[in-house]
Amino acid sequence: MAEVDVSSLTGVERAAILLMSVGEETAAEVLKHMGPKEVQRLGTAMAELNNVKKDHQVSVLDDFITVVDEQTALGVDSDEYIRNVLNNALGSDKATNVIDRILLGRNSKGLEQLKWMDPRAIAEMIRLEHPQIISIILSYLDPDQGAEVLMGFSERVRHDILLRIATLDGIQPQALQELDAILERQFSGKDSVKSSTIGGVKTAADILNLMDSAAEGDIMEKIKDVDPDLGQQIEDKMFVFDDLAEIDDRGMQALLRDISNEILLVALKGADQALKDKIFDNMSKRAAEMLKDDLEAQGPVKLKDVENAQKEILGIARRMSESGAIALTSGGGDEYV
């Protein structure tokens, strides 16, 4: 990380500076409570730290102390409170998946440990399982990891797995516990998963969103050949890069803070003008002018590089949406959370 103004540090960079300041043992204890994605992002940021000024470190620590001072003992035995709040805020249908992820999924070990594995290793591990079992496992993974695992299978079976994911309407808790137990024995774990609301059109769309464009198109074509209506339902739930223009200003500003200028520059090469204008409007005048100049001076960029940059930004947007930091809407106008 080059020397920058402290106000421009992203949340991940601030967290990395904090962890590098508290010592190895304390940092390790903090990381134990995080998921694989958070650990990877923080680890990458920590590895890239250099030329950190003393005032940067002091500012980050001061901010942390301020936040801690404002905290209370609220949160103890709060599961039922969280259930009621989410149900009242989102309605029972939308709240169910969120509750499962927050309260139930956290207790699993067998399936949960897959989230720490390399996608290629997961693909190899489950390659000989029945396609229905594979579809359940991929539904349980986060969409970006599920997409990478799916790419580890031959083209012949990808569309079959996605079709099963899209038509998966939950699974009996007992069956999911048995699957979790099988995986658990391989990892020497003991707990069992309790969540049963996995799979469905939305999960299939999430995975497709994060796959290579060529593979995505091939799978969608085959699904539409088998079930045109289902294919259309999946397409309607998919979120494309230009849909980011629908994010509100506060959400766009939060998203831009977590995106590097290098990735943004490449991704905007193939973006609609409406999205470009939305981004320019949510930057400082100077930053917007600099980005415009860079776009004009930018030479030809490979389509694959543009698509990969857009997929990376979509992944960040989706994670922020899942955490409640921003609200996304698909091209069809459905809320995407």
267/189 same-domain check: no
User: Which of 37-51, 63-77, 124-138, 174-188 has the weakest average pLDDT?
Assistant: 63-77
| 130, part of any domain | yes
| 85, part of any domain | no
Tell me the mean pLDDT in the region 27-36. Answer: 75
Angle at alpha carbon of residue 280, lines to 239 and 10, rounded to 5° = 75
The predicted pLDDT at position 330 comes to 53
| 94, part of any domain | no
221/252 same-domain check: no
| 101, part of any domain | no
191/292 same-domain check: no
1-4's contacts with Cβ under 8 Å and 24+ in sequence apart are 1/45, 1/48, 1/49, 1/50, 1/51, 1/52, 2/51, 3/51, 3/53
CATH for 119: 1.10.220.30
pLDDT one-digit tens code per residue, 281-307: 998 888 889 888 888 888 888 888 888
pLDDT one-digit tens code per residue, 217-268: 788 888 888 888 888 888 777 777 888 888 889 889 989 988 888 899 999 9
Report the interhelical angle of 303-322 vs 201-209 (nearest 10°): 140
| Cβ atoms within 10 Å of 163's Cβ, excluding its own | 21
**CA dist 300 → 54, 266, 311 (Å):** 40, 10, 19
The predicted pLDDT at position 3 comes to 47
266/290 same-domain check: yes
190/166 same-domain check: yes
164-175 burial code (b ≥16 CB/10 A, e <16): bbbebeebeeee
Of 237, 270, 287, the one marking the end of a domain is 237
Report the interhelical angle of 11-21 vs 36-47 (nearest 10°): 80
220/114 same-domain check: yes
164/210 same-domain check: yes
From the CA atom positions of the chain, what is the Rg in Å? 21
Who has greater pLDDT, 94 or 205?
205
Q: For residues 105 and 180, is the Cβ–Cβ distance under 8 A? A: no
Q: Name the residue among 325, 330, 316 with its Cα closest to residue 37.
A: 316
98-118 burial code (b ≥16 CB/10 A, e <16): bbbeebbbeebbbbbbbbebe
Of 237, 263, 294, the one marking the end of a domain is 237
The predicted pLDDT at position 63 comes to 79
pLDDT one-digit tens code per residue, 41-69: 777 877 777 777 777 788 878 777 777 66
Of 41, 69, 97, the one marking the end of a domain is 69
Q: Name the residue among 209, 267, 211 with its Cα closest to residue 236.
A: 209
Q: Which of 158-162, 182-186, 317-321 has the highest mean pLDDT?
A: 158-162
Question: Is the per-residue pLDDT at 213 higher than 50?
Answer: yes
Q: Is the four-CA dihedral 231, 233, 234, 238 of positive or negative sign?
A: positive
**CA dist 207 → 68, 139, 192, 253 (Å):** 37, 9, 25, 26
Domain coverage including residue 288: 241-336
pTM over 0.75: no
Q: Total domain count for the chain?
A: 3
| 222, part of any domain | yes
15/50 same-domain check: yes
122/220 same-domain check: yes
Cα(111)–Cα(193) distance, integer angstroms: 8
The predicted pLDDT at position 106 comes to 47
DSSP label of 104 = I
The predicted pLDDT at position 72 comes to 54
Cα(160)–Cα(164) distance, integer angstroms: 6
- Amino acid letter, residue 273: Q
| 93, part of any domain | no
- Please report, rounded to a whole number, the percentage of residues in the chain having pLDDT higher than 70: 75
Q: For residues 192 and 178, is the Cβ–Cβ distance under 8 A? A: no
226/246 same-domain check: no
The predicted pLDDT at position 337 comes to 36
231/121 same-domain check: yes
- Please report, rounded to a whole number, the percentage of residues in the chain having pLDDT higher than 90: 4
115/201 same-domain check: yes
| 90, part of any domain | no
| 77, part of any domain | no
The predicted pLDDT at position 190 comes to 40
Q: For residues 225 and 196, is the Cβ–Cβ distance under 8 A? A: no
The predicted pLDDT at position 278 comes to 92
Who has greater pLDDT, 62 or 165?
165
